[in-house]
Amino acid sequence: MAREMVTALGPLDGFCVQETVSGEAEVIVGARRDPHFGAVALVGLGGIAVEILRDVALAPAPVSAGRARAMLESLAAAPLLAGARGRPPLDIAAIVDAVVRVSWLAADLGPRLVDL
């Protein structure tokens, strides 16, 4: 399988393998370079939810903590993140911090950013 990936992707400078962590919900935090807007930060429900529901918020990078929090609050899934129906709330401060940091990384990468 690794050979097929290298053949498909071309030479790799490196890679990172990380353990899957389970919890109450999956969250996606990312960034991409838009040809018109430059670096754009992204946050939303992750995993299969992002593929099916596409409930994500986008903002030009870099974003402030206030903007990152507003992005989370704009999601249709915001009540799930806050702990709807007796579920424990997610660590919103940690998600906000991740969005801010990824957005600054995206902005700093400039034209080298494709998709993160």
Query: Mind listing the pLDDT tens digit for each residue in 47-58?
Result: 888 889 999 999
49-58: list long-range contacts, CB under 8 Å, 24+ apart: 49/77, 53/77, 56/28
User: Residue 25 and residue 83: Cα distance in Å, rounded?
Assistant: 10
In CATH terms, the superfamily for domain 21-112 is ATP-grasp fold, B domain (3.30.470.20)
Alpha carbon distance 50, 3 (integer Å): 29
pLDDT digits (tens, 9 = 90+) for 83-108: 988 888 999 999 999 999 999 999 99
Task: Please state the domain extents for the chain.
Answer: 21-112
Rounded Cα distance between 59 and 67, Å, is 8
71: pLDDT confidence band, cut at 50, 70 and 90? very high
